[in-house]
Amino acid sequence: MSPHDPEVYARSVGLDPAKLPRHVAVIMDGNGRWARARGKERVEGHARGAKSVDEVTEECCRLGIGQLTLYCLSSENWKRPKPELDFLMALLKQYLLAERARILAQNIRFAVIGRREGLPDEVLAEIDENVRLTRGNTGLTLCLAINYGSRAEIRDALAAIAERAMRGELTPADITEDTISDALDTAGMPDPDLLIRTAGEMRVSNYLLWQISYAELWVTPRFWPEFGAALLHDAFRDFAGRERRFGGLTPGGAA
């Protein structure tokens, strides 16, 4: 096999390619605390966190991971100071423009989940362009959760299903878990196998609540700007050692 083959690369860094997660979701936490601990402004933590996004995305491509979903901006983050929000929007636009060529070169399919309301028009335009240009790509799906909140997503999905019912397209008996999944922002995407959270917080923060029902959780005390390929490998090794039962029993019959 080629030395650039994902399986060869995985083994070269001590990972079992057969035990890697297919879909990795990340709560990127601790940018502000990382900056504050170093006497820097919070915005410098966000800028450094963008470098971690690059490194983790690159590593997922090398390992042949199917999807990486990153929690970039929650619907609750609008409560932050306006200068910080303005910086985040400018950073997002810069990222979308600066990374476009690399995303295309690496065969990455770009996707976004979350409500569009409130995002600047120039940011929406760059999002739409990246989605359009990469629609036919077949490598890693890089999904950014921007202005995203899972409760709002589920509310919107249920409202859409209710409208279908009112039009006579389905009855309550027709509604299955697949009906709901297909109405979510993540329709057509696999559920996450692994949820990584940085900065040591032990909560899921309104992130992919429906989709992570059976995801494995991995939390590190390290802040997101400190996260890179080595910590990603640690998470994957721990994941490989988990026994995923999905509510069932082990082969020996233990719960």
Among the listed residues 29, 31, 130, 185, the single catalytic one is 29
In this predicted structure, what is the pLDDT of residue 4? 78
DSSP track, 63-101: HT-SEEEEEEEEGGGGGS-HHHHHHHHHHHHHHHHHTHH
Assess whether 77 carries a catalytic annotation. Answer: yes
Query: What is the band of 248 on the pLDDT scale with cuts at 50, 70, 90?
Result: low
Share of the chain above pLDDT 70, in %: 95
Among the listed residues 5, 16, 77, 128, the single catalytic one is 77
What is d(CA 74, CA 62) in angstroms, rounded to the nearest whole number?
28
DSSP track, 103-123: HHHTTPEEEEES--TTS-HHH
For the chain, the structural domain boundaries read 18-148+191-231
Q: What is the mean pLDDT of residues 158-163?
A: 97
User: Any idea which residue has 């990222």 for tokens?
Assistant: 95
What is d(CA 138, CA 196) in angstroms, rounded to the nearest whole number?
24
SS3 206: coil
What is d(CA 1, CA 105) in angstroms, rounded to the nearest whole number?
21
Q: What is the mean pLDDT of residues 94-112?
A: 96
Residue 211 has pLDDT above 60, yes or no: yes
| Residues 7-43 pLDDT 10s | 999 999 999 999 999 999 999 999 999 999 999 999 9
pTM summary value: 0.93
At 172, list the tokens. 């309550």
Please, which residues bridge with residue 110 across strands?
Answer: 142
Assess whether 31 carries a catalytic annotation. Answer: no
Query: What is the band of 255 on the pLDDT scale with cuts at 50, 70, 90?
Result: low
In this predicted structure, what is the pLDDT of residue 244? 75
In this predicted structure, what is the pLDDT of residue 249? 52
In this predicted structure, what is the pLDDT of residue 64? 98
In this predicted structure, what is the pLDDT of residue 253? 56
Query: What is the band of 3 on the pLDDT scale with cuts at 50, 70, 90?
Result: very low
User: Any idea which residue has 């985040």 for tokens?
Assistant: 88
In this predicted structure, what is the pLDDT of residue 252? 57
**Architecture of domain 18-148+191-231 in this structure:** 3-Layer(aba) Sandwich (3.40)
DSSP assignment letter at 174: G
Q: How far does Cα 144 stand from its chain's mean position? A: 6
In this predicted structure, what is the pLDDT of residue 2? 43
